[in-house]
Chains A and B, each alone.
Chain A
Amino acid sequence: MELSDAELIEEYLHGDESSFYEIVTRYTNPLYNFIARLIYDREEAHDLTQEVFVRVWKNIKSFDRQRSFKTWIFSIARNLAIDRLRKHKAIQFSDILFATDAPYEETLADTELLPDELFSRTELTQELERAFKKIHPAHVEIILLHLVEEMTFEEIGQVLGEPMNTIKTRYRRALAHLRKELSVD
């Protein structure tokens, strides 16, 4: 039976080194995917993913085990990715965060379905790649956390340090933007 994150941490703190490597195995791909999608640099995403595990290793003793380990590790990854984006001045991250906190307009409601034929198109992956590059990282992160990592809005709120309603609003806006980018093509 697969051990939970909390159980692995418990075992690691009791001296079982292999438990930490189980955590590494469990989270390497999700974290890499998350970071690479945010910073658009697959090579540097490797460095940042490593740095996440180094930070986890350094701080695991002070980690509050009442909290979710997954949201904790993703918040570390997210902070590192944002720092990197800020350093490279690729974006003004705060601008979009403030902008997306505005009340959600129902005109952006995602009632419109994409054409069925889109699903059969082999270049959908490439289209998604292009669309993801066009939408803002603040939207990318929320889509990734909800759709790929299957986090609840509450968990995403913990990662991003935002209230759940803000997250819900931002998620719907993010999907609308993604759909818009895909529709344009």
Chain B
Amino acid sequence: MSRKYTELVARLVKIEPRAGFEIEIHETLVALKVRTARVHTMLFGGGALLGLGVSVTVGVHLHQFFAQSGFYQYLVLIFSGDGVVYALWRQLLLALIDSVPVVTAALFIASIMFLLWTSMQTVVSVRKLSLASV
């Protein structure tokens, strides 16, 4: 098939979409972005609330545990003077470790991290939502 002919085919077979189609695509994408940002905001916002609830509950529990275990008495020793810490640092450290409720503390840290992460994601989603809505 000649070059001239194939060029002609290339020119003639083009079909144009309806007028304003690009704007329709643009609007579809904006609507999609808004919907996605809303879903993310709800999910991360819910997650942040859950994280807050868990953090407070575990935090209270941790505080009670520390109060009962005598941890605060060890803690006071640290502030009572450099000499005590310097002389008895090993015993003090072991006693501190011994009195720390590892599982509860880990749960507390995890819940705080989760709270921070979901809060940050919520802020990002809200920002996306406000940008997409413009």
Contact = CB atoms under 8 A, between A and B. Distances in A.
Interface of A: 17, 20-21, 24-25, 28-29, 32-33, 36-37, 42, 45-46, 49-50, 53-54, 57, 110, 113-114, 119, 124-125, 128, 132, 143-144, 147-148, 175, 178-179
A42 B16 CA distance: 9
For chain B, the bracket of interface size reads 20 to 34
Interface stretch (B4-12, B39-47, B70-78, B99-107): B4-12
A144 B17 contact: no
B14 A148 contact: yes
Nearest to A118: B5
B82 interface: no
A45 B15 CA distance: 11
A114 B12 contact: no
B6 A24 contact: no
A37 B32 contact: no
Contacts of B17: 28-29, 32, 36, 45-46, 49
Contact of A128 (B1, B13, B25): B13
Interface of B: 1-2, 4-10, 12-18, 21-22, 24-26, 28-29, 32, 131
Given A33-B13, A49-B25, 10 more contacts: A20-B29, A24-B25, A24-B29, A32-B15, A36-B17, A54-B32, A113-B5, A128-B13, A144-B13, A175-B6
Contacts of A45: 15, 17
B29 A57 contact: yes
A48 to B, nearest CB: 11
A148 B24 contact: no
Given A119-B4, A147-B9, A33 B29 contact: no
B26 A24 contact: yes
Contact of A124 (B2, B12, B131): B12
Given A25-B22, A46-B18, A49-B25, A110 B1 contact: yes
Contacts of A57: 29, 32
Contact of B25 (A42, A53, A114, A132): A53
14 contacts: A24-B22, A24-B29, A32-B15, A33-B14, A37-B13, A49-B25, A53-B28, A119-B4, A124-B12, A143-B13, A147-B13, A148-B10, A148-B13, A175-B6
B84 to A, nearest CB: 55
B5 A114 contact: yes
Top 4 nearest A-B pairs (CB, nearest first) are A147-B10, A32-B17, A110-B1, A36-B15
A61 to B, nearest CB: 13
